């Protein structure tokens, strides 16, 4: 343990920060978008999520020695500056991966149920096959989906090691996939930069009935080009969770999407708690002490059994009806669209409020349904695809 208590500043959206970090010293909770030089002027430890930009401007006059971000992405953190200052850094890779996977599966089921078409037999192109895309690729085949993987970094690594792989080019994915779902970090330099990875040319290369899903970073897709493509009916539809110019995305684009949500794909309760636990473990390791906080103390909960949907429904509609019991993505969409009635000045605050007050959404594996109530031909889809426990 540190020789004296650490002074800790934490984003209010880092759940259970008081429980997980209070043993290290006093914890001051602060809204992430309001964390500035004044708030960290006497802090030893700073714990953030993605809305706080951590750079020289924020920290130059601060005694901060450890920065933790309870997120997968790190594009909001100037890690070069932290290294120069000798400030330790940790984040939470994979913490909310399962949540984003479940978001995408909810999207796929909801969209195809609405269209009255079968999800089984469709091709889904996954662009970026790391923590999120890799897990999604493992689970979609249980829903009868053909998976097309695109990840040039992983392809290059496999080839360098003399290994075979099934990664294909982005051009092939765009030409062949019924659905393209994006799971890349946001990078602006290097041979595989992802800033505006999907622009007007890429959208024009997609199938005219294809659906695009962005639950990665807003600027991975050129939002102006996406709006133009939707206005022209160039693609079948778009589902957007992350936006350029957050917290004030283009209202015109919001209104054109099939499903719009306020950057909450990774906001399951379980994923956020795992992020807190990973930072707790990292800070403990930095201090040279064993972790003392067990996240299961807040995750353990007996949830009611799920109800079997109407047996007369199609397979896709049946799975969608089951998924809606654990996560109603249409409720998130409705709350996002309510922002369109607000003034431009009001929308930013309302966007942040939706994220801050997001309802508790549990991991699908925490939910149970009696096995005998699931049609035999759908049991693998439920247990291995959706990840819902068969009781």
Cβ distance 186 to 73 under 8 Å?
A: yes
Pair (288, 164) in one structural domain:
no
Please give the full DSSP string across 239-254, using - where no structure is assigned: EESS-TTTTS--HHHH
pLDDT at 50: 87
Active site residue 360: no
Residue 390 · residue 369 · CB < 8 Å: yes
Catalytic residue among 7, 227, 263, 335: 263
Report yes or no on 362 lying in a domain. no
Q: Say how many domains are in the chain.
A: 2
Catalytic residue among 135, 196, 217, 280: 217
Q: Using CA atoms, how far apart are residues 302 and 356, in angstroms rounded to an integer?
A: 25
pLDDT in tens, the chain (391 residues): 456 799 999 999 899 999 999 999 999 999 999 999 999 999 999 999 988 999 999 999 999 999 999 998 888 999 999 999 999 999 999 899 999 999 999 999 999 999 999 999 999 999 999 999 999 999 999 999 999 999 999 999 999 999 999 999 999 999 999 999 999 999 999 999 999 999 999 999 999 999 999 999 999 999 999 999 999 999 999 999 999 999 999 999 999 999 999 999 999 999 999 999 999 999 999 999 999 999 999 999 889 999 999 999 999 999 999 999 999 999 999 999 999 999 988 999 999 999 989 999 999 999 999 999 999 999 999 999 999 999 9
Which residues constitute the domain of residue 49?
Answer: 8-91+269-293
193 assigned to some structural domain: yes
Catalytic residue list contains 149? no
| 147, β-bridge pairs | 124
- The CATH number of the domain holding residue 288 is 3.40.50.720
Of 139, 246, 335, 355, the catalytic one is: 246
Q: Where are the alpha helices (H) located in 341-388, listed in sequence order?
A: 344-356, 379-380
Backbone angles phi, psi at 342, to 5 degrees: -90, 165
Cβ distance 161 to 155 under 8 Å? Answer: no
The dihedrals phi and psi of 126, each to the nearest 5 degrees, come to -105, 115
pLDDT of residue 3: 60
pTM score, two decimals?
Answer: 0.90
């Amino acid at each position: 343990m540190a020789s004296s208590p650490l002074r800790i500043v934490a984003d209010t959206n880092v759940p259970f920060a008081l429980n997980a970090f209070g043993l290290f010293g006093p914890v001051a909770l602060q809204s992430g978008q309001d964390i500035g030089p004044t708030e960290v002027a006497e802090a030893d430890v700073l714990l953030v999520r993605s809305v706080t930009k951590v750079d020289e401007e924020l920290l130059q006059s601060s005694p901060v020695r450890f920065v933790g971000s309870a997120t997968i992405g790190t594009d909001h953190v100037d890690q070069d500056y932290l290294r120069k200052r000798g400030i330790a850094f940790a984040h939470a890779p994979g913490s909310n991966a399962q949540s984003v996977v479940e978001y995408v599966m909810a999207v796929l089921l909801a969209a195809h149920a609405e269209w009255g078409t079968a999800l089984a037999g469709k091709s889904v192109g996954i662009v970026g096959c790391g923590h999120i895309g890799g897990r999604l690729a493992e689970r979609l085949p249980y829903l009868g989906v053909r998976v097309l993987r695109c990840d040039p970094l992983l392809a290059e690594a496999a080839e360098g090691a003399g290994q075979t792989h099934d990664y294909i080019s982005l051009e092939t994915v765009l030409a062949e996939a019924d659905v393209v779902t994006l799971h890349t970090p946001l990078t602006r330099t290097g041979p595989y930069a992802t800033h505006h990875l999907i622009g007007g040319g890429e959208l024009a290369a997609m199938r005219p009935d294809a659906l695009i899903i962005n639950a990665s970073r807003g600027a991975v897709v050129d939002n102006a080009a996406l709006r133009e493509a939707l206005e022209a009916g160039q693609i079948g539809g778009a589902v957007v969770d992350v936006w350029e110019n957050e917290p004030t995305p283009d209202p015109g684009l919001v209104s054109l999407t099939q499903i719009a949500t306020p950057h909450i794909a990774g906001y399951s309760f379980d994923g956020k708690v795992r992020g807190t636990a990973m930072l707790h473990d990292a800070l403990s390791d930095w201090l040279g002490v064993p972790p003392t906080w067990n996240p299961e103390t807040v995750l353990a909960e007996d949830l009611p059994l799920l109800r079997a949907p109407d047996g007369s429904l199609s397979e896709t509609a049946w799975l969608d009806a089951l998924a809606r019991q654990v996560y109603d993505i249409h409720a998130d969409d409705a709350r996002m669209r309510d922002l369109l009635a607000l003034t431009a000045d009001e929308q930013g605050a309302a966007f942040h409020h939706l994220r801050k007050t997001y309802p508790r959404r549990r991991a699908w594996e925490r939910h149970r349904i009696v096995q005998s109530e699931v049609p035999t031909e759908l049991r693998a889809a439920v247990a291995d695809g959706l990840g819902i426990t068969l009781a």
